[in-house]
Chains A and B, each alone.
Chain A
Amino acid sequence: MISLVKNEWMKIFSKGSTYIFIAFLLVAAIGTAFIDMKLSPDESGKDWKQEVKADIQEQQKALEAKDISEDEKAAIMDEIDLNKQLLADDINPNLSTNWTYMAEWTVSLTSFITLFAVIVCSSMVSSEFSDGTIKQLLIRPYKRWKILLSKYITSLLFAALLLVSLIIFSYLIGIIFFGNGSYSDKMLDPAAFGSFSTVVVGSYFFDMIVYWIPGFLVITTIAFMLSTLFKNQALAVGISIFILFASSTLNMVIQSFIGKYEWLKFILFPHLDLRGYISGTMEMFDGATLGFSIGVLSIYYLIFLALTFFFFQKKDITN
């Protein structure tokens, strides 16, 4: 089995596009770091506590103005509270390190990893059919399911390689652009609106990645399945990417009907992105829990894999 995986790995890395994908991740990391640097003002050398204190004074001045409405007053009061909290908990709101960069930007670059992994997974089986090499591949002393499994394992290994590359690139480029910060620095929770809550920046980043992985795994498995069922890479890429991008729209539709139709909660789409559970804001429907979502994902995952292997085992190779 190891030699089969080695073969698949060799095929992936004999294609020029593979290197383009990895190079793109590096360029994307540099690009986003550059944008981040331009967007955030240079705060180095200044004392952030002084700045926050100055803000509070200005905001209090604004409160004393005569022509402000009650709403505006309330908003300003909230801001003052927030700033006071920052001072009290010793949290720099303008903190800019490699970790804050990763928490803000790298997390969004994962969609490129999905795209590239889907492209590679989609060609894993379909390209053997379109190149005609499937015939030479299946007349070897290996059972078909072993050959398919080696391809699936290689797809996952490649997806993992993309993810690890992105994290390493971002970490190193973050150091170059923003300096090496502490893993355990605190920052405001980006997902919490209105309420004051903080997160440890490093563990927030890894939470975002870990909660993203199950949905990613299911999408790549769908791409792999379609590649096997349809023997057509374009179709496999198209449908997988469509599922990925349509799921947020579909989720809104599902959400508006879920009160009426209980079974909608067993649909795949709302469970594809589990990152909502990190700060507990996933409010897809009553009773949505991380465990339930993982359960639904697992069932779909197993069905997809079973279909793929069953179909491939039975297939007459006629092209």
Chain B
Amino acid sequence: MSDAVLKVQSLTKKIGNATIVDNVSFEIKSNEIFGLLGPNGAGKTTIIRMITGLINRTGGSVMINGSDLDKDFEGAMNQLGAIVENPEFYKYMTGRKNILHYARMSPNDISNERIEEVIKLVKLDHAIDKKVKTYSLGMRQRLGVAQAILHKPSLLIFDEPTNGLDPQGIREFRDYLKVLASEGVGILISSHLLSEMQLMCDSFAVIEKGKLIHTKEHMIDEKTETIHEVSFTVNDGALANKVLQEQFAEIPILKSALNTISVSATREQTAQINKRFNDNELDVYEIGITRKSLEDKFFEITEQEMRESV
């Protein structure tokens, strides 16, 4: 597990008698985009603030690329780039001065070329010499990305990064993340917006009431996971129904009509069904699938949790 860029173990935060974060452990590898999911107030922000050293931990340890936050704070922080909540800047200074400010705070020597490169990457070259108070939220977000990646950290953390961004901004942000992850960075994102996270993340942890209740590399395992609904458009619905009932008795038929038939099946099963249809000289015009969304999965998990705890 030497390639874990973030290793969180038994992270706990108590304020008075209340336990805000309860014994949370997870790991993020390089190249991985890891989503921290949970409803508002579940403790996501508290977890992120403990990882970034902004608030004290009641218990547990945080290792960033092998450096322990307690023993080598400066070493650990040098491996970290982050936007904690909204991207806040010194509004009375230009974007360039803000970047310069953070460049100076890195022990690595950050060249002017690097600064220019990062400004170009986030497409702020036209506005970088304007004061930040003139920036839109999307521009501030991009400036936030710029300051986070400036020193080439191995771990990036974005707390609710798409808050207040328009769809185009969200898409741009997602593209940055993919590029950064492909370059070997490990990325931690927190959000309560599940549909977005589904598009961004490789793996997830679900937090509720301060507890990590579910973690999976891929919440939707495409090979074995039941796809919510597969609908075949064929020339003869009745024949299709017959084939299915005879040869795939275990697969539930959801809907059957003149030219379409819907089943609940996995990827593998879908391929098999298609093969059998062809063997029976059925013409398959279209196969439509409705995936079980992360949102459905999320509610499934949290509801199950609630039932168990009752």
Residue contact A139 to B84, C-beta cutoff 8 Å: yes
Given contacts A132-B86, A141-B74, contact A317 B104 (CB under 8 A): no
Q: Which of B53-61, B230-238, B269-277 lines the interface with chain A?
A: B53-61
- Which B residues lie within 8 Å of A318 (CB)? 49, 55
Residue contact A141 to B105, C-beta cutoff 8 Å: yes
CB distance from A141 to the nearest CB of B (A): 4
CB distance from A275 to the nearest CB of B (A): 37
Residue contact B53 to A131, C-beta cutoff 8 Å: no
B75 in the interface (beta carbon within 8 A)? yes
Given contacts A7-B105, A10-B101, A14-B97, contact A139 B74 (CB under 8 A): no
Which among A131, A135, A314 is the interface contact of B54 at CB below 8 angstroms? A135
Given contacts A6-B104, A316-B56, contact A143 B88 (CB under 8 A): no
Size bracket, chain A contacts: 20 to 34
- Which B residues lie within 8 Å of A14 (CB)? 90, 92-93, 97
A149 in the interface (beta carbon within 8 A)? no
Chain B residues numbered 53-96 whose CB sits less than 8 Å from any CB in chain A: 53-56, 73-78, 80, 82-86, 88-93
- Which A residues lie within 8 Å of B101 (CB)? 7, 10-11
- Which B residues lie within 8 Å of A3 (CB)? 104-105
A69 in the interface (beta carbon within 8 A)? no
A250 in the interface (beta carbon within 8 A)? no
B106 in the interface (beta carbon within 8 A)? yes
**Beta-carbon nearest neighbor of B157 in chain A:** A139
Residue contact B49 to A317, C-beta cutoff 8 Å: yes
A249 in the interface (beta carbon within 8 A)? no
B52 in the interface (beta carbon within 8 A)? yes
**Beta-carbon nearest neighbor of B80 in chain A:** A139
B167 in the interface (beta carbon within 8 A)? no
Q: Bound complex: CA of A136 vs CA of B77, how far in Å?
A: 12
A133 in the interface (beta carbon within 8 A)? yes
Some 7 contacts from A to B, beta carbons below 8 A apart, are A10-B97, A11-B101, A140-B102, A314-B56, A317-B49, A317-B54, A318-B49
